[in-house]
A and B are shown apart, each in its own frame.
Chain A
Amino acid sequence: MTAKERMAIEPQAMPEQDAKVRARNMNEVALGYTAEMARREASRCMQCAAKPCMRGCPVAINIPGFLAKAAEGNFEGALAVIRETSLLPAVCGRVCPQEKQCQKFCTMGKLLKDVDKAVAIGRVERFVADLAREKAASAAGKGVPAPSVAPSDRTGRRVAVVGSGPASITCAADCARAGHDVTMFEAFHKAGGVLVYGIPEFRLPKAIVQNEIDGLKALGVKVELNYVVGRTRKLRDLMEKDGFDAVFVGTGAGLPKFMDIEGENLVGVFSANEYLTRANLMKAYDEKGHDTPFWHGRRVAVLGGGNVAMDASRMALRLGAEKVYLVYRRSEAEMPARKEEVHHAKEEGVEFLMLQNAKRVLGDDQGRVVGLECLKYELGEPDASGRRSPVAIPGSEFTLDVDTVVVAVGNASNPLIPATTEGLEVNKRGNIVVDAETNMTSIPGVFAGGDIVLGAATVILAMGEGRRAAAGINAYLAKKGSAS
C-alpha cells in the first residue's frame, strides 16, 4: 500500500453506547473495535522509519512493529510485541492520554492536520489485549496464564511490594519472573489501586484489573490484602524481622487536596476520592445489595479539570443527579483531562463552567450544602508551567444552586510510610526521592515508584517506574547474592 492509499483509509471510529443511555448505567462507554476495524485502523500506519510515535510512549512500545502485525491480522503477534515493554495493554489502551503521548507525534495525524486523525494506537492496543484475554478465558475457563518460572530458576530471595496499583503490579510481575519470592501488601480489601477504587467501571471494567491480579498470582505472587505497611508492620521490620531482602513502595498519591475555602467541611462536600470510592470499590450505587451508603446529590458541582474531575462528574450523573456542573478556573484548552473523557462528559450532559472558581460553600442550619459561591476568572500572563494563569475578576461573584460539591483538585502523596520509616528521604512535596536509574530510595534495598515518587501522574508512567524499579531490585539482589 502506498502512503496515499493509507491516508485514504477512513479513521475507524470507536463504537460507543448511546450518550443518553450510558449516562445512567455503569457499563463501559467505549465498546471496542471488531477484528476488522482493528485491522483497518492498524493498516493506516505508514511504518515511518523514524518511529516518532515511540518517542511519545513513556515505555517506548514498538508501535509500528505491533501495528504491522495487527494489520496482517496477526493479533497474537501484535500483543507479543507490546508485551516486550508493557505489562498492562488492556488498561493503557483504555486510559492513556494518547493525544499527549504516542498519538501526538504520529505522522498520520500530522499529515491530516488533526491529532484526532492520528493512527488510533491505543484502540488497537486495547483490541489485541482484550482478544487475548477473552480467548484465554474461554480456553481455560479463566483468563490466567500458566506459571512461567521453573523451580530451578527460583532465587530464594524475598521481595515485598507495597501497594497494588499499576507500579506495584508491574514491579511484582518482573520480580517474580526473575525468580524471586514476591509478596504484595495492599491496605484495601481488593487489589488494583486507583484502577479499582478511582477509575470507574464505565471507563475501565474491574474484571480487567482482576485478570491482571490473577495473572500475578499464577506467577506465584502472594497477595496480602488488608495490610497497611507502616501500621500492621513497619517497613523496616519487613526487612529486619520478616526476612524480606528488598522492598518496593508503590503507595500512590492518596491524599486528597482540598481548596481551603469556607464551608468545605459541610455535609455534602466530598473529596473525589471518597465520592468515587463509595461508588466504585464499595459499590454504593447498587442499593439492593450493598451496605455503604452514597449521597443522593440532585445538583452537583465538581471542582477541577483533570481525569478525576471528569470521572466524578460522570459518576454523579450515573448516581442519579439531575444537573452536574464542572467548575474549572482555567479554560478548556488548559484542562489536563484526557480529551476523550472531556468529550464524553459533554455528550452525557455535564455542563462545563470554564474560567470560574469556587469561593465558598454555602450551608443551611443543618450544615448541609445549599449552594456554591463562585468567582469568574480571566486568563493572565503565562505562569511557570507555561500555562496562562487565571486571575479572579473582582466583584464577579455568583451562586450556583447545588446540594453537593465534589472536590477534585488533585492528590498529594500519602505520608503514612515516610512518617513511619526513619531515614526515608522525601522532597518538600512529600514525594519519595529515588535514584533516577534504579529507583532505589535513601534506604539500601528499599525502592519506590509510581505516584508516590512522581506525584499524581499516569498509569503508564507508574507502570514504567515499576519496571525500572524491578530491574533495580533484580540487579541489587544479584549483587547481594554474589557478595554473600
Chain B
Amino acid sequence: MNCIKEKRQLSDNVFFMKIDAPLIARERKAGQFIILMVDEEAGERIPLTIADADETAGTISIIFQTVGATTMKLSRLEPGDSLAAVLGPLGRPTDIRGANGEKPGHVVCVGGGIGVAPMHPIAQALKAAGNRVTIIMGARNKSLFVMEDEMRRIAGDDLILMTDDGSSGRKGLVTEPLKELCESGAVDEVIAIGPPIMMKFCALTTRPYGVKTVASLNTIMIDGTGMCGGCRVSVGGKTKFVCVDGPEFDAHQVDWDLMLKRMGAFKPQEAAARDHVCNLFKGI
C-alpha cells in the first residue's frame, strides 16, 4: 500500500503523483483531501487534495508544489517507493448540485497557481451536474500553469488564462475577469481555490454583487480528524475546524487576515527545515 505508481514533473516546482490507495480511491469525493507522511519516525503530516482517483485501478492522484521540507522530500521519491502514511479521504465533500440549489446555473471556478489541481475534480463534477462552468486560471507566468488541457476540456471557450507578466493569456490578476463576469450579472456562484491572499481578494471582488462565493481553505493541520484544533479558522465570528467542518466555507464569512497570520505561525522553523533539506539534497 501507499506505493507510488507514477510521477511527472509539471513545472519547475510542481509534481504529479499517482499513489496506490485502493480504500481511499473507493470512498473519495470531489473536494476531499488526504494527509500523508513521507517518513514514519521523523516525518511531518501534511494535507494534500485528491486531484483525481481511479477506483478500478485503486489509485489516487495528487499534485503538489514544493514549498518546504516535506513537499521537497516527497518530490524526491520515485515510482516504486512507498509513503509512510496516507490517511483519507478527509473533509466534507463539495456539495455538488446545480448552482441554484437543484437548478443548474453558471459557476465560475477561480484557480490560482497550484489551486487549479484541487479545482479539477470539482469543476468536472459541476459540469456533469449540468452547470455552465467558467474557469479562470492564474499564475505568475506561463511556465507555472498546470492542467491547462484538462481544464479546457471542461470549460471549452469559457477558460480564461491570466498571468502576472502577460506570458500567456491576459496580463493581470484573476480578480479582473471575475469582476467583469460579476458585473455582467450572469454569475450564480463562485468557487475560489488558491493562495489565501487570492481567495481573500476574490471574496472582496464578489461581495458587492452578492454572489455566493465558496473558498477551499488550506490551513496548517496535524491529525485531520478534529482532535487538535490547529486548523481552526474564524468563519462568521465562529471558530471552525477546516479538517472536519471544511475545507470549503463561505468566503464572505472567513476572517482572512487572521487565517493568513495563523498560517505564518511556524515560518522561521519552516524556513530552517527547508534550507536543511535543500542542503541535504545538494549534498552540502
Interface residues of A (CB under 8 A from B): 187-189, 225-228, 231-233, 254-256, 258, 264-268, 270-271, 273-274, 277-278, 282-283, 289-295, 366-368, 414-416
Contacts and interface: CB of A to CB of B under 8 A. Distances in A.
Given A189-B37, A232-B23, A291-B42, A415 B70 contact: no
A196 B258 CA distance: 31
B226 A255 contact: yes
Contacts of B255: 265
Given A265-B258, A293-B266, A277 B85 contact: no
Interface string B213-234: 0000000001111111110111
B84 A189 contact: yes
Interface string B224-258: 11111110111000010000100000000001011
B239 A231 contact: no
B42 A258 contact: no
A188 to B, nearest CB: 7
B229 A291 contact: no
A125 to B, nearest CB: 30
A414 B225 contact: yes
8 contacts: A228-B88, A231-B88, A254-B225, A254-B226, A264-B239, A267-B261, A293-B273, A415-B244
Interface of B: 23-24, 27, 37, 40-45, 69-70, 84-90, 222-230, 232-234, 239, 244, 255, 257-258, 261-262, 264-266, 269-270, 273
Given A278-B222, A293-B266, A367-B261, A273 B227 contact: yes
Contacts of A231: 27, 88-90
A56 to B, nearest CB: 31
B225 to A, nearest CB: 5
Contacts of A294: 269
A291 B264 contact: no
B42 A233 contact: no
A292 B226 contact: no
| Most interface-central of B24, B45, B70, B88 (chain A CB within 10 A) | B45
Most interface-central of B84, B90, B227, B229 (chain A CB within 10 A): B227
Contact of A291 (B24, B44, B225): B44
Contacts of B23: 227, 232-233
B42 A273 contact: no
Nearest to B225: A187
Contacts of B225: 187, 228, 254, 414, 416
Nearest to A273: B228
B27 A277 contact: no
Contacts of B232: 265
Nearest to B255: A265
Contacts of A295: 265-266
A109 B86 CA distance: 52
A278 B234 CA distance: 22
Contacts of A289: 41-42
A21 B89 CA distance: 44
A465 B222 CA distance: 29
A225 B85 contact: yes
A271 B229 contact: yes
Contacts of B269: 293-294
A367 B227 contact: no
Contact of B89 (A232, A255, A256): A232
Nearest to B35: A226
Contacts of A187: 87, 223, 225
* Best-surrounded residue of A232, A289, A294 (most CB of chain B within 10 A): A232
Contact of B43 (A232, A266, A291): A291
A228 B87 CA distance: 7
Contact of A189 (B85, B257, B262, B273): B85
A282 B44 contact: yes
A273 B232 CA distance: 13
B226 A415 contact: yes
A213 to B, nearest CB: 15
A367 B262 contact: yes
A277 B226 CA distance: 13
Nearest to A292: B44
Nearest to B238: A260
A254 B227 contact: yes
A265 B227 contact: no
Nearest to B260: A367
B262 A265 contact: yes
Given A233-B23, A254-B225, A258-B239, A291 B85 contact: no
B70 A256 contact: no
A188 B84 CA distance: 12
Nearest to B83: A226
B45 A292 contact: yes
Contacts of B244: 415-416
A258 B87 CA distance: 26
Given A270-B229, A414-B227, 16 more contacts: A187-B225, A189-B37, A231-B88, A231-B89, A232-B23, A256-B229, A265-B258, A273-B227, A273-B228, A277-B227, A290-B44, A291-B44, A294-B269, A368-B261, A415-B244, A416-B225
